[in-house]
């Protein structure tokens, strides 16, 4: 009903507006003395946590993209190899698992059948299982050895938004906790990262300010048949998430690519007028990925692409090449995905709205897929 939407035009609009709170509430109470304190995780025992030699993240849909972002952070901070697997691909082979494998499932609903069956499978084969879940007491957390709840609040719109940013925050808390226990992060490093994580909600409030601009863009693009998304490092899963939203909501062809893969195939798709969103890494990125992605923009622009760059405040290098520049607040590389996804969530919603489609209940989809 209109009352439940709290004055918003759709649940999705309301839920995007709740992205700052989703992250804030997921962090709340989990930081003590500037360090991460997740008793749900430390209860597994320091010995066990130090012995983990592999993290395997399993999920479906948007939750899997949050897991892909988490992979970069957990590897960097805890120095444990991390793989991300779609739950339905994981289960139907004979995956190699050991008691030193930590299987981390991510699910908003906690009821996705494929994810649930993958968790049970992993558990039966002796792996430790930890669930990141947004629904108290759901089946997946009940079937797991440990659970870290996201506190995004109930998500009603079929396309996941606020749960995504909360899931990223939860994987970061996990990565920091593991890094602290395993000694791969000094207290100073951990405190610095925690402080940046705590700044994300405020930056998200600023990021929400692009809503009107995106609405205009979407109206102008209502007849677009195909949109590509390019990202690199933690921007790559964000590109995948942006593309998924367009498929789910606007029913158009959309694909996300790792920007470095462009010359290995996707660049052949670029023809005049092709719309490409590019997630531009910060110019302060220590791996100098910024200049590589700016080169990608030049390459596709030279072939006639219409480039919409998502770049941090003050990044002037993209201006000569991009047709549109959408700004996000300054943040260090790991904290950009939660901000950069905001314009993409808006874009999916606004393109669907511009086409007169039902934003909350897209055709053929269910909020929670409880069958195989």
| Residues that bind ligand G6P in the complex, under the rule CB under 6 A | 60-63, 107-109, 112, 115, 158-160, 365, 367-369
14 an active-site residue? no
Alpha carbons 200 and 215: distance in angstroms, whole number: 24
CB of 285 to ligand G6P, least distance (A): 28
Count CA within 13 A, CB hemisphere, residue 266: 20
Helix 162-182 vs helix 337-354: crossing angle, to nearest 10: 170
Nearer to ligand G6P, 26 or 115 (CB): 115
Select 158 or 344, whichever has its Cβ closest to ligand G6P.
158
Token pair recorded at residue 359: 């934003």
Could you list the beta-strand ranges (E) of 108-156: 128-133, 146-149
Token pair 């012995």 is found at 51
- Least Å distance, CB 244 to ligand G6P, is 8
Sheet (strand 253-258) strand order: 253-258, 226-231, 275-279, 306-312, 324-328
Q: How far is the CB of 365 from ligand G6P (least distance, A)?
A: 5
Which residue sits closest to ligand G6P, CB atoms considered? 61
Smallest gap from residue 200 Cβ to ligand G6P (A): 20
Quote the Cα angle for 354-252-59, to 5°.
110
Nearer to ligand G6P, 64 or 227 (CB): 64
User: Which residue, among 267, 342, 372, 363, has the nearest Cα to 13 in the 3D structure?
Assistant: 342
**Nearest partner of 216 among 310, 325, 351, 355, judged by Cα:** 351
Q: How far apart are CA 351 and CA 215, in angstroms?
A: 8
d(CA 92, CA 107): 19
Nearest to 59 by CA among 101, 92, 95, 87: 87
Rounded to an integer, what distance in angstroms lies between the CA atom of residue 143 and that of residue 50? 23
| Cβ-based nearer residue to ligand G6P, 122 or 158 | 158
CB of 223 to ligand G6P, least distance (A): 25
Closest CB to ligand G6P among 231 and 362?
362
Centre a 10 Å sphere on the Cβ of residue 320 and count the other Cβ atoms it contains: 10
φ/ψ (deg, to 5) at 194: -60, -45
Closer to ligand G6P at the Cβ: 252 or 369?
A: 369
Specify the residue, 12 or 200, whose C-beta has the smaller distance to ligand G6P.
Answer: 12
Q: How far is the CB of 155 from ligand G6P (least distance, A)?
A: 8
- C-alpha 269/C-alpha 248 separation (Å) is 22
Smallest separation (angstroms) from ligand G6P to the CB of 176: 22
Which of these is catalytic: 5, 215, 292, 367? 367
| Secondary structure of residue 274 in the 3-state scheme | coil
Q: Which residues are catalytic?
A: 367
């Amino acid at each position: 009903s209109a009352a439940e939407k709290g004055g918003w035009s759709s649940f999705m609009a309301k839920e995007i507006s709740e992205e700052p709170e989703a992250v804030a509430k997921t962090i709340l109470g989990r930081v003590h003395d500037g360090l991460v304190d997740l008793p749900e995780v430390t209860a597994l025992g320091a010995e066990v946590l130090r012995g983990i030699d592999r993290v395997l993240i399993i999920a479906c849909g948007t939750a899997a993209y949050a897991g892909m972002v988490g992979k970069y952070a957990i590897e960097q901070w805890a120095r444990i190899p991390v793989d991300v697997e779609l739950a339905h691909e994981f289960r139907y082979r004979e995956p190699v698992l050991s008691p030193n494998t930590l299987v981390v499932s991510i699910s908003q609903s906690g009821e996705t059948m494929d994810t649930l069956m993958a968790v049970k499978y992993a558990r039966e084969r002796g792996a430790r299982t930890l669930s990141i879940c947004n629904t108290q007491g759901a089946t997946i957390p009940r079937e797991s050895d440990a659970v870290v709840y996201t506190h995004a609040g109930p998500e009603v719109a079929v396309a996941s938004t606020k749960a995504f940013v909360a899931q990223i925050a939860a994987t970061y808390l996990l990565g920091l906790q593991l890094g602290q226990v395993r000694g791969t992060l000094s207290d100073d490093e951990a405190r610095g990262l925690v402080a940046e994580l705590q700044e994300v909600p405020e930056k998200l409030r600023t990021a929400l300010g692009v809503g009107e601009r995106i609405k205009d863009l979407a109206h102008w693009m209502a007849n677009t048949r195909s949109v590509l998304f390019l990202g690199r490092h933690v921007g790559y899963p964000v590109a995948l998430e942006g593309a998924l939203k367009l498929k789910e909501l606007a029913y158009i062809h959309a694909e996300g690519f790792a920007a470095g893969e462009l010359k290995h195939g996707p660049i052949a798709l670029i023809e005049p007028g092709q719309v490409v969103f590019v997630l531009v890494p910060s110019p302060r990125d220590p791996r100098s990925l910024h200049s590589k992605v700016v080169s990608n923009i030049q390459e596709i622009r030279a072939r006639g692409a219409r480039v919409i760059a998502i770049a941090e405040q003050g990044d002037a290098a993209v201006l000569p090449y991009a047709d549109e520049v959408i700004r996000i607040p300054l943040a260090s590389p790991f904290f950009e995905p939660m901000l950069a996804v905001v314009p993409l969530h808006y874009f999916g919603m606004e393109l669907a709205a511009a086409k007169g489609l039902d934003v909350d209940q897209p055709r053929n989809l269910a909020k929670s897929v409880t069958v195989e």
